[in-house]
Chain A
Amino acid sequence: MSLYLKKRKKLLKKLCVGTSLFFFGSAGFFVFSIVFKNLFSRSQAHPLLFVFLMSVISIAAYKPLDIAFTQLFKNYLFKKKTFAHMTLMELAEELALVLDLQELSNLIVNTFGEVFHLKTAALLIPNRVRGDFEIASAYGWNISDCYRVRFSKDSLLIKLIHSTGGPILVRDRAIRTFSWQEANALAHDFDCLRASWIFPLFVKEELLGAVGLGAFSAHGLFDEADFQVFREFARSAAKSLRNALSVSELKTANGELQDIQSQLLQATKLTAIEQLATGLAHEIHNPLTIISGKAQVLLLQKDRNQIDKKVEEVLKTIVKQTKRAADITRKLLMFSQSSGLPKERLQLEQILEDTISLVSYQTSLEGIRISRAITRPIPPLYANVQEMREVFFNLLLNAVQSIGSQGKIHCEIRDRIKDQIVEVRISDTGRGIPPEHIDKLFNPFFTTRPEAVGLGLFVTKQIIHRYAGSIRVESRTGEGSLFTIQWPYLESSPMADQKAETLSLFPNA
């Protein structure tokens, strides 16, 4: 309470006491004068007698009146503290219904802070994982500061709370009982919590937390009556805190369980896809073998049977397309069993060209232009051809689907000699990826198209990781996306001889 208010209160009290004294004096004199009249049959008493009487009454009645008025003021007229105490007790009851740890912590510190006009109020709770104490919520603090303050179980403050048990710790009083070194350490602990008073929250010997209170001017703010209320509050709040802590632990455990469950689900899904793909392969590859085989037999007999040129084309298409269909099921199994695929030295630009030609028919229909920028020579990569085609194919297809029609795809392969990295960048002018989808983009079975399986980018990422590479995506909704892949250089075999070899393999390169 402010100094200003205190003075006014004192003045008012003095006035009341004075008026009452005058009233009592007058009444006393009135009674006395009647008695005097009857006893001595004299109409007038001596004025000095009046003064004497008033003095006697004043001296006798001052102390009881003063006490009575102080009590009266405290209980009825200036019952600010009482109001605060009542608020605290109400809060204590209310807390029993709050199960959310953060909400409970906020309620405690904010109520203390506001009701007592404190500078700071902070709630310490145990962190059972780390085994120390941290700030759950604080009034009058920067949020970032809260994370910095921690008290180990061996800190003097926590030890002191344990050893003293219930009572409220007052900074100055507590410090005085220690030697100067320990006093310093303890003062530091108090200052860390920005507190002049600390009261613990115990449930049956178990320390569940502590509330630290700091005032603008600490002197005489709280007295024994307040401490009494704090203790009562602590008893009740500690139980609520214990419940909230348990709920919070349960929530954490539940979250972990959910994570594991979703991982398990993912694994199950993958196994299911694997089984499905194997089953599919057997069921589909046989009919495909028959279709393709019969077409091949006809083709090989073409000279004898004199097959029409058009029919020959059709037969060739049948053979080619059955192979493509078979490749789909093979692709589906690729990510689960690809560690042993044959690897060879590859030129990425060649793979890119091959893949572009695969999608070029579709892009020409949709009015999509594909441009490329390749800074030659690109060091070769030691990898499986199919897998590398898969990577480019998925990314290009993704870009095509994102654009829909009319747009541009730009492919870039760069040799970042300084970082010993080969970098592939594929950008499109498509609709882009919403920020909330970016994180999930590479998850298996994530897709925004109802007809898709959602394996493309997942498989792509798996393959890239297999060759120690990385892939990241930048995107702006409505403007397009950029996928960047980086592969470290081949560590084995010297560059020079590789270059010579690739030159002979790809004379155009």
Chain B
Amino acid sequence: MKKLLIVDDEKEICEFLKAFFEERNFEVYTANSGVSAIKYIQELTPQLVLLDIHMPGMDGINALKWIKEKYPKVKVIMVTALETREKIEEAMRLGADNYITKPLSLEYLEKDVQEKIAQLT
């Protein structure tokens, strides 16, 4: 089963994304901060992480740094409320596999997620 971790400080966002991906036969976990994201990754080793850039405490960029250092194989798609180019460029430089801007187009997101996971196998 495809394992997916959704990290966003907005619970509602995690909620509908979870509903959406579970319907598409994903095993979905959610985290609301960078720190708990790291914990989940260590425990569950998901194939792909949807990572929000702007979070209180440890933000998406720092979490990304950690993930790509420890688990370089895990695919990471950054989610951003507004693309400040510097931030996005930094994320891509740090090894993010793609980025998507809010509000999300679920169709596009699913396509992208499937594509990235397909690359793993």
Taking the complex as formed, is A285 at the interface, i.e. its CB lies under 8 A from any CB of chain B?
yes
On whether the beta carbons of B81 and A281 are closer than 8 Å, the reply is: yes
Give the residue of B54, B82, B105, B106 whose beta carbon is less than 8 angstroms from that of A297.
B106
Give the residue of A293, A329, A337 whose beta carbon is less than 8 angstroms from that of B16.
A293
Taking the complex as formed, is A317 at the interface, i.e. its CB lies under 8 A from any CB of chain B?
no
On whether the beta carbons of B16 and A282 are closer than 8 Å, the reply is: no
Instruction: Give the complex CA separation of A289 and B81 in angstroms.
Output: 9
Taking the complex as formed, is B117 at the interface, i.e. its CB lies under 8 A from any CB of chain A?
no
Instruction: Give the complex CA separation of A296 and B19 in angstroms.
Output: 11
Hey, which chain B residues are within 8 Å of A296, CB to CB?
A: 20, 104-107
Q: For this complex, into which size category does the number of interface residues on chain A fall?
A: 20 to 34
B-side interface residues, number (CB < 8 Å) = 19
For A296, A329, A340, the residue with the greatest tally of chain B CB atoms inside 10 Å of its CB is A296
Taking the complex as formed, is B13 at the interface, i.e. its CB lies under 8 A from any CB of chain A?
yes
On whether the beta carbons of A285 and B102 are closer than 8 Å, the reply is: yes
What is the minimal beta-carbon distance from A439 to any residue of chain B, in angstroms?
A: 33
Known pairs A282-B54, A293-B16, A297-B19; A288 contacts B82 (CB<8 A): no
B window 16-44: CB within 8 A of A = 16-17, 19-20, 23
Taking the complex as formed, is B85 at the interface, i.e. its CB lies under 8 A from any CB of chain A?
yes
Hey, which chain A residues are within 8 Å of B19, CB to CB?
A: 297
On whether the beta carbons of A292 and B103 are closer than 8 Å, the reply is: yes
Known pairs A297-B16, A297-B20, A300-B20; A292 contacts B104 (CB<8 A): yes
Instruction: Give the complex CA separation of A333 and B81 in angstroms.
Output: 13
What is the minimal beta-carbon distance from B19 to any residue of chain A, in angstroms?
A: 6
Interface residue SS majority, chain A: helix
Taking the complex as formed, is A294 at the interface, i.e. its CB lies under 8 A from any CB of chain B?
yes
On whether the beta carbons of B104 and A330 are closer than 8 Å, the reply is: no
On whether the beta carbons of B102 and A288 are closer than 8 Å, the reply is: yes
Instruction: Give the complex CA separation of A326 and B23 in angstroms.
Output: 27
Hey, which chain A residues are within 8 Å of B23, CB to CB?
A: 300-301
Instruction: Give the complex CA separation of A463 and B101 in angstroms.
Output: 23
Beta-carbon nearest neighbor of A332 in chain B: B82
Q: Which of B's residues lie within 8 Å of A, judged by CB?
A: 10, 12-13, 16-17, 19-20, 23, 54, 81-82, 84-85, 102-107
Known: A282-B81, A285-B81, A290-B12. 9 other contacts (CB 8 A): A285-B103, A289-B10, A289-B102, A289-B103, A291-B103, A294-B12, A296-B106, A300-B20, A322-B103
Q: Which of A's residues lie within 8 Å of B, judged by CB?
A: 277-278, 281-282, 285-286, 288-294, 296-297, 300-301, 322-323, 326, 329-330, 333, 337, 340
